[in-house]
Amino acid sequence: MTEQTLQQARPEDTDRLLALYRAASRAIAAFGGAWNDEYPGADTIADDLACDGLYVLREGDELCAAISLGEDEHEETDVAWALLAQRPCMLSRLCVTPRLQGRGLARRVMAMAEEIARSRGYDAIHLMAAKGNRMTQNIYSSIGYRVCGEVHLYDIDFICFEKAI
């Protein structure tokens, strides 16, 4: 795979994004992933596109990875964020196509997303990983994210992570 950068997704990517999300959902189910056949769906994609917050990594016509970034809409939760961030960014829906999982691509996507967030004026990253999803939790911990609490949202228990950028 050649060196790539994250690019903003386009509306015409919707069908390929849905296919990527479904394939990733099936692949991470064994690791405690909380996605299913309905989430993330077309409405989530449309919302992320509308706020210019959906990014993809392409290889030809294939979408290899995706991630969403935007304002932290979970400020009302009881998470004890330790950082006194003025403008935190919420990264969410990180996924890598199953054929490329286990090769460090998620870490590279996270590094690129952090750079995009920094360039947009964010000073910290907030993340949530399903409590049972040890694989994702391990990725976040390995790249410097700190566990700062737990929260129950959308009928799911999440571990919350943060990092200054």
- Read off the pLDDT of residues 44-65 as tens digits, 9 standing for 90 and up: 999 999 999 999 999 888 899 9
pLDDT, position 38: 83
Mean pLDDT of the 115-126 span? 96
pLDDT, position 39: 86
pLDDT, position 27: 81
Residue 123 pLDDT class (50, 70, 90 cuts): very high
Q: Is the pLDDT of residue 89 over 90?
A: yes
**CB neighbour list of residue 130: distance below 8 Å, 6 or more residues apart:** 32, 33, 34, 136, 156, 157, 158, 159
- The domain 7-164 is placed in CATH, from the list 3.40.630.30, 3.40.50.300, 3.10.20.30, 2.40.50.140, at 3.40.630.30
Q: Is the pLDDT of residue 28 over 80?
A: no
Strands 54-59 and 156-164, sheet pairing = unpaired
Domain boundaries, the chain: 7-164
pLDDT, position 7: 96
Pairwise CA distance, residues 34 & 116, whole Å = 26
Mean pLDDT of the 60-80 span? 81
Pairwise CA distance, residues 107 & 79, whole Å = 24
